[in-house]
Structure 1
Amino acid sequence: MMDDILATAVRDADQTEAVAVARGAADDCGPLLRQTGDGAPLLVVADENTWAAAGPQTSRAASSAGLQLAESMVFPASPTLYASLDNAAAIRDAITAADAAMGREVLPVAVGAGTLNDLVKMAAHELGRRYVVVGTAASMDGYTGAGAPISNDGVKITMNCTAPKAVVFDLDVTAQAPAWMVASGYGDLAAKIPGGADWILADAVGIEPIDEHVWKLVQSGVREALAHPRELAAGQPEAFSGLVDGLVLSGLAMQVYGGTRPASGAEHYFSHIWELDHLGADQDPPLSHGAKVAVGTLAMLAFYERFMARDVAALDVDAAVAAWRPWEEVEADIRRTFTGALAEHAVKETRAKYVDGDGLRQRLELLKQSWPATQARLEEQLVPAADFQQQLSLAGAPSRPQDIGLDVAGLKATFPKAMYYRSRYTVLDVAREAGWYDQLVDEVFANDSLWS
């Protein structure tokens, strides 16, 4: 079933043309590399750790397929390799040098995880050519994504690049990845649960209709992929098939949809805000995106539980409209919540989803009218926060704010920032428009058993 869905996603994606996920895939990837690069010589880019994981297998497979190999570019294992502009420029220079040495354009092959994939993605994009990634860890869903988060002068921005032409995942290699990377991928895939619920609500009020085909691509295997946390933590290769498929499908679904809506919601804004605050940046390795997303996911599942306990069908729309704050008051609150350039960003993003009283009435009436069907779909989509906290813990992923160096008060303080951070419509916006937001946040933290 999942093989069919993956094949459909590859068929419909506009950038990635081939995906190979299997045990021994690195040893067998020679024909795929030849076809992808039309027989071009290869430049393998890795670091010492990822080279040890899959570099020799990839190189042998390429040679067996009759492909020439330029001298590999292997970064040292220490210090930690960062996705920075200068490292991307170094790879770009290595690619052009390999072109000259081989007498023709080479096909860059990233052997590694998120950082190496992003660096090679950006370098190849700047040179106007495609690349291949041989993934060494199921650590995030950006392998098949078009964006590349790159740091420059301490600021992380997502560069618009081109997704890999082909992706190879050897499950035996992936199962040997460090435990923190497995936990990171588990957290990133878990985000599809509350993220999908946010899309359901955006669809219910007529803001962003669900594309059922894309929904199936990204959501169909999530529950099964997350159902084996003990096996993933134990490094059992068979358990990684669902996790890898789920992460790869997430990126492919974004290609098909032409945006990130299928793969993320408010839970990701917690991670983005903590990243802007450099939470865990001084750790070695730095605190991963997926680790922070795991805690954001748990926070949003807890918020959804309180939201679903409300009687949406009995919502007093007249009272909500009467209590609705004018834009000037909302903007003032945003500027109290954020400072500097981030305040300007949040004002712009929130203004895009703000409506006047008439618009609010229309949204809330649509929500009430659609609530029986919406409620049923949300109940099918969501999972209890306490149950999922246990799954995160079994997978070795953060399951409390303390696990990422944050106290409970810091987690609670992130909620209003997440609400204002992006223009994407989420349950946080629904709660604010209904007049329930502050009460629901207080309820999430009224009983601290989930966070103890």
Structure 2
Amino acid sequence: MNAAIEKGLSHADQTKVVEVGRGVLARVGEIVRDSMDVGEASVLVVADERTWAAAGEAVDASLRAAGLRVEDALIFPGTPALYAAYEHCETIRERLRETGSLGVAVGAGTLNDLVKLASGELEQPYTVVGTAASMDGYTGFGAPMTRDGVKVTMPCPAPQVVIFDLDVAAAAPPNMVGSGYGDLSAKIPGGADWLLSDAVGWEPLHPLAWELVQGGVAEALARPADLAAGDPDAYAGLVNGLILSGLSMQVYGGTRPASGAEHYFSHLWELDHLGQDWEPPLSHGFKVAIGTLAMSAFYERFFLRDVTAEAVEKAIVGWPAWETIEADIRSRLSGTLADHCAKETRAKYIEAPALRERLTQVLDSWGTLKPQLEKQLIPARELQAMLKAAGAPSVPEDIGITAATVKDTFLSAAYYRSRYSVLDLARELGWFDELVDEVFAPGGLWSELSPLD
């Protein structure tokens, strides 16, 4: 077992067993039998037509060969793509209840989330057999779910057992690895945001959670072309990195280790149903990839300026009252989104005296903090090339939007969560609007004057 995963499991409170490797599929039955307290329960494989063909039938056979009592599999249609809707969770939950069985999810994000929530509502463990390195939620708790027309993350425990056959992952559709690569690339600017948040005393670093999520990122992102080519050996780093990301969230008790402001771009576009009607639907990781590049480019523009005593004094003089900020939020956004952003931004707003203290703290540590942040980041153009090589989006048009849409999302992203990021520091210093303009100026990452070769 990967040493970092073993360390993470020793501190995680929900996932107990992780098996990653080539040929692991044949051992699913014995792993489930030996790792879960099945007792008198049977097991139920939950898949869709695609994941059943990719791995589900083999999983079912392995479970039976291990002597477990196996119910007839619950197989959803493969087309259109299964959506994380609560009614599907109810279908799974009732089948588990009626048969007295424990769930074995065979699939990626959606199937994992549906079985996770159904099992959580029955207060029983489950196993997931991953079929694609498409996201970091395999070992994460909570399930994003659409219920009554609203997408919410519903609380439920992570899987007790996670099994990943690298040959199966390598055979998944190319867009799946591109999605996972995009999701994991977010740990780069997301980590920088956490370092910054720690520096101002907002969300202190958790040493073990940081080690788990950041320790394997470089290896996981190192072979994008081999991943796109379907080389199973290249998948070990990516799969381990995605699993470690979920374990870091278990250790921390929240999503802070795995995401920063780059994720808010994705969340906001998901609220606008971007790509929901695509076949397959536009993945979370694809949207995150573009948010990651946007934030990487923003950091680069930020570093071209210097935090000085003069800059701090100027920022304090120009710092607006809360009423002015709330009015700006409500002039740009409407309805429940405006209410949400106002509540989240109010939680991190501070008055001018406290702002002086915070910015002085940044000023005093800038000589060591700036190099630390720069070391954490990958240059935006380099990261763009890596994403493209892995089959992930590298320009906004890859996800059906324009650079102008990304630019318009920046301020909403700054308002979206109470979590502190470089967007907040830029707003507090009075640099925000100018930096966003610079990101999208001629010669910038996505300008017509500087296409990616």
**1:111-150 alignment to 2 at 5 Å?**
111-150=106-145
Letter in 2 for 1:390: A
Deviation at 1:60, TM superposition (A): 2.4
Q: Tell me if structure 1 keeps the 8 A contact 2:43–2:70.
A: yes
Task: From 274, 281, 284, give the equivalent of 1:279.
Answer: 274
In the alignment, the residues of structure 2 paired with residue 250 and residue 52 of structure 1 have an alpha-carbon distance, to the nearest angstrom, of 28
Q: How many residues align?
A: 445
**Which of 408, 421, 429 is equivalent to 2:424?**
429
CA distance in 2, matches of 1:206, 1:85: 38
Task: Name whichever of 29-38 and 201-210 sits farther off.
Answer: 29-38
Alignment match, 2:85: 84
Among residues 430, 435, 440, which one is paired with 1:440 in the alignment?
435
Query: Aligned with 2:19: secondary structure?
Result: strand
| Structure 2 counterpart of 1:89, one-letter code | E
CA deviations on 1:222-278 (whole Å, 9 max, x unpaired) are 011111110000110001101111111101000000111100000000000000011
Quickly say closer, same or farther: Cα 1:281–1:315, change in 2 above 3 A: farther
Q: Alignment partner of 2:201: what SS?
A: coil
Deviations 1:179-205 (A, max 9, x none): 111100000000000000000100111
Deviation digits for residues 132-160 of structure 1 (CA, Å, limit 9, x no counterpart)? 10000010011111110111233211101
The residue aligned with 2:2 is: 3
**Equivalent residue number for residue 451 of structure 2:** none
Determine if the alignment matches structure 1 residue 160 to structure 2 residue 155: yes
Give the CA deviation at 1:430.
0.4
Cα shift at 1:316: 2.3
- State the AA in 2 paired with 1:5: A
Hey, what does 1:169 align to over in structure 2?
164
2-structure distance, mates of 1:308, 1:25? 46
Cα distance in 2, alignment partners of residues 263 and 237 from structure 1: 25
Query: Per-residue CA shift, 1:23-55, capped at 9, x if unaligned?
Result: 111111222201233244210000010011111
2:439 touches 2:445 (CA, 8 Å); kept in 1?
Answer: no
**CA distance, structure 2, for counterparts of residue 151 and residue 11 of structure 1:** 33
1:90-139 CA distance string (max 9 Å, x none):
1111112222xxxxxx2210000000000001111111111110000010
Query: How far apart are the structure 1 equivalents of 2:98 and 2:403?
Result: 51
- Tell me the amino acid that sits aligned with residue 445 of structure 1: F
Matched, 1:16 2:15: yes
Q: 1:337 aligns with which of 332, 337, 340?
A: 332
**How far is 1:377 from its partner?**
1.1
Aligned to 1:298: 293
How far apart are residue 64 of structure 1 and its match? Answer: 2.5
Cα pair 2:301 2:439 within 8 Å, conserved = yes
Letter paired with 2:318? A
Shift, 1:312, TM fit: 1.8
1:96 maps to what in 2?
Answer: 97
- How far did residue 314 of structure 1 move? 5.0
Q: What SS does the aligned partner of 2:203 have?
A: coil
Where in structure 1 are there 5+ consecutive unaligned residues?
100-105
Equivalent residues of 2:263, 2:291 under 8 A apart? yes
SS at match of 2:162: strand
TM-score (norm 2): 0.96
Q: Alpha carbons of 1:124 and 1:251: their partners in 2 closer, same or farther (altered >3 Å)? A: same
When the two chains are superposed, the root-mean-square deviation of aligned CA atoms in Å is 1.1
| Structure-2 residue corresponding to 1:38 | 37
Give the match's secondary structure for 1:19.
Answer: strand
2:310, 2:417 → 1: CA distance? 25
Equivalent residue letter for 1:184: S
Residue 148 of structure 1 contacts residue 160 of structure 1 at CA under 8 Å; is this kept in 2? yes
- SS of equivalent to 2:26: coil
* 1:373 shift after superposition: 1.8
Q: 1:259 aligns with which of 230, 254, 260?
A: 254
Letter in 2 for 1:55: G
**In structure 2, what is the equivalent of residue 75 of structure 1?**
76
For 2:60 and 2:322, locate their aligned partners in 1 and report how far apart those are by CA, in whole Å. Answer: 59
Distance 2:346 2:429 in 1: 18
Q: Secondary structure at the match of 1:110?
A: strand
Which of residues 333, 353, 357 is equivalent to 1:358? 353
How far did 1:318 drift? 1.6
> Which residue, 242, 245, 248 being the options, matches 2:240?
245
Letter in 1 for 2:34: Q
Helix, strand or coil for the counterpart of 2:132? coil
Gaps of 5+ in 2: 449-453
List per-residue Cα deviations over 1:264-295 (Å, max 9, x = no partner): 00000000000001111111111000000000
Structure 1 distance, partners of 2:64, 2:371, is 54
> 1:37–1:107: 8 Å Cα contact kept in structure 2?
no
The residue that corresponds to 1:110 in the other structure is: 105
Q: Structure 1 counterpart of 2:65, which letter? A: S
Runs of 4+ with >6 A deviation: none
Equivalences for residues 377-416 of structure 1 within 5 A: 377-416=372-411
Within 2, Cα distance between the matches of 1:22 and 1:313? 51
User: 2: distance between equivalents of 1:225 and 1:154?
Assistant: 36
Contact residue 175 and residue 237 of structure 1 kept, 8 A? yes
- Rounded to whole Å, the distance in 1 between the matches of 2:233 and 2:83 is 31
Is the Cα contact below 8 Å between 2:80 and 2:280 reproduced in 1?
no
How far the C-alpha of 1:449 sits from its partner, in A, is: 4.7
Identity of aligned residues (%): 59
1:418 to 405, 413, 420: 413
- Contact kept, 8 Å, 2:42 with 2:99, in 1: the verdict is no
TM-score, L = length of structure 1: 0.97
Aligned-partner Cα distance in 2 for 1:96–1:179: 36
Give the secondary-structure state (helix, strand or coil) at the position aligned to 1:27: helix
- Any idea what SS the aligned residue of 2:30 has? helix
In 2, the alpha carbon distance for the partners of 1:337 and 1:11 equals 46
Matches within 5 A, 1:148-227: 148-227=143-222
Aligned residue number for residue 66 of structure 1: 67
SS across alignment from 1:316: helix
Q: What residue number does 1:102 align with? A: none
